[in-house]
């Protein structure tokens, strides 16, 4: 059911600054900053040969990333994202297996313009998991 690793998200105070560090160190391509008000973040992607790194910064005081950064002042890994061919089938299968979907369980459009869902970290060894329909 799970496909390849789509990206690893790192929460930071300044996504563009963090992405430039990766770009300089690894010669990686860097996307423009994209605000996603429905998720409360601004994203910048660094494209590597085998995956992407998503830098996320808070967009507004109510952002869940703002709370994450209060607990993790220097930033840190926020979540991992995996591709799935059909997000509804994946969601239903995961729920049957005991996983908890965060929010109302209805996929929302993510940073790549595709449906995403987040899964409770307590069900995945402490890691927040995002699934994205490819």
Q: What is the pLDDT of residues 6-35, one digit of tens each?
A: 999 999 999 999 999 999 998 999 999 999
3-state secondary structure the chain: CCCCEEEEEEECCCHHHHHHHHHHHHCCEECCCEEECCCCEEEEEEECCCCEEEEEEECCCCCHHHHHHHHCCCCEEEEEEEEECCHHHHHHHHHHCCCCECCCCCCEECCCCCEEEEECHHHCCCCCEEEEEC
| Residue 130 annotated as catalytic | yes
pTM comes to: 0.94
Q: Is the pLDDT of residue 1 over 90?
A: no
% of residues, the chain, pLDDT over 70: 100
Predicted pLDDT of residue 2: 86
Predicted pLDDT of residue 43: 98
Catalytic residue among 16, 61, 130, 132: 130
């Amino acid at each position: 059911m799970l496909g390849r690793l789509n990206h690893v998200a790192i929460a930071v105070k300044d996504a563009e600054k963090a992405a430039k560090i990766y770009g300089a160190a690894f010669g990686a391509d860097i996307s423009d900053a994209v605000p996603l008000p429905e998720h409360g973040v601004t994203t910048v992607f660094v494209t590597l040969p085998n995956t992407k790194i998503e830098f996320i910064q808070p967009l507004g005081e109510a952002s869940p990333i703002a709370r994450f950064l209060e607990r993790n002042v220097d930033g840190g890994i926020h979540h991992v994202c995996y591709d799935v061919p059909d997000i509804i089938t994946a969601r239903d299968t995961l729920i049957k297996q005991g996983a908890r979907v965060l929010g109302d369980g209805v996929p929302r459009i993510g940073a790549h313009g595709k449906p995403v869902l987040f899964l409770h970290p307590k069900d995945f060894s402490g890691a927040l998991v995002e699934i994205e329909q490819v």
